C-alpha cells in the first residue's frame, strides 16, 4: 500500500511539473510558479456563520494548500456590508502524539468590501479557526469553524 501511494504521489508531481513547464513555455514563468503546491486533496474554504445579527463569510481565494493562502472575510448586517470592523483570525491545530500545538494568527485588512489576509498552514490535516471581530459600537463577536487540507 505504501509503495502504491508513493507511485501515485510521484505521478501527481509529474503532472504538476508538466503543467508548470507548459505555463513557463508560454513566456509567463513568474517567481510565484514555484510556490504552487496545490494538490488533489485541497479544497476551497467557504464558510458562512451567523452571530449577533451579523452574517460572516470566510473564504479562501484558491483551493487550500500547505503554506500561504489568501483569505477574505465579508461581514454583513441587515443585508449591508460592514466595513468598519476590526477582524482577526486564528487557525490552530491541537497537540497530538508526536506533534506540538500549532497556530497561525492574522489581522485582516479592509480592501473594498472585504477583509483580506493570509492563512499559513504548516501541515495538512484539520485546522480549527476562531474568527473575532470588533464592530464600531465596541462590541466583540466570535465565530468558530474548521477546515481540512
Q: Does 65 bind Cu ion (CB under 5 A)?
A: no
Closest CB 122 distance from Cu ion, rounded Å: 8
Closest CB 47 distance from Cu ion, rounded Å: 20
According to DSSP, the residues that pair with 90 across neighbouring strands are 105, 130
Q: Does 75 bind Cu ion (CB under 5 A)?
A: no
Stretch 120-139: interaction string toward Cu ion, x if CB under 5 A: ---x----------------
55 vs 125, which CB is nearer to Cu ion? 125
75 vs 93, which CB is nearer to Cu ion? 93
Among 93, 119, 143, 149, binds Cu ion (CB under 5 A): 93
Segment near Cu ion (CB under 5 A); pick from 42-50, 60-68, 94-102, 133-141: 94-102
Among 9, 10, 29, 99, binds Cu ion (CB under 5 A): 99
Closest CB 108 distance from Cu ion, rounded Å: 23
Q: Please write down the HEC assignment for all residues of the chain.
A: CHHHHHHHHHHHHHHHHHHHHHHHHCCCCCHHHHHCCCCCCCCCCEEEEEECCEEEEEEECCCCCCEEEEEEEEEEECCEECCCCEEEEEEEECCECCECCEEEEEECEEECCEEEEEEEECCCCEEEEEEEEECCCCCEEEEEEEEEC
Q: Which residues bind Cu ion (CB under 5 A)?
A: 93, 99, 123
Amino acid at each position: 500500500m505504501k509503495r502504491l501511494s508513493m507511485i501515485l504521489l510521484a505521478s501527481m508531481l509529474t503532472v504538476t511539473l508538466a503543467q508548470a513547464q507548459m505555463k513557463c513555455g508560454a513566456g509567463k514563468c513568474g517567481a510565484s510558479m514555484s510556490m504552487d503546491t496545490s494538490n488533489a486533496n485541497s479544497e476551497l474554504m467557504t464558510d458562512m456563520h451567523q452571530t449577533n445579527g451579523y452574517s460572516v463569510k470566510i473564504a479562501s481565494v484558491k483551493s487550500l494548500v500547505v503554506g500561504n493562502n489568501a483569505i477574505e472575510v465579508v461581514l454583513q448586517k441587515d443585508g449591508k456590508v460592514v466595513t468598519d470592523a476590526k477582524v482577526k483570525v486564528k487557525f490552530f491545530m491541537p497537540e497530538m502524539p508526536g506533534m506540538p500545538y500549532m497556530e497561525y494568527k492574522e489581522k485582516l485588512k479592509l480592501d473594498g468590501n472585504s477583509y483580506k489576509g493570509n492563512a499559513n498552514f504548516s501541515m495538512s490535516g484539520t485546522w480549527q479557526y476562531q474568527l473575532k471581530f470588533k464592530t464600531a459600537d465596541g462590541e466583540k463577536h466570535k465565530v468558530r469553524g474548521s477546515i481540512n487540507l
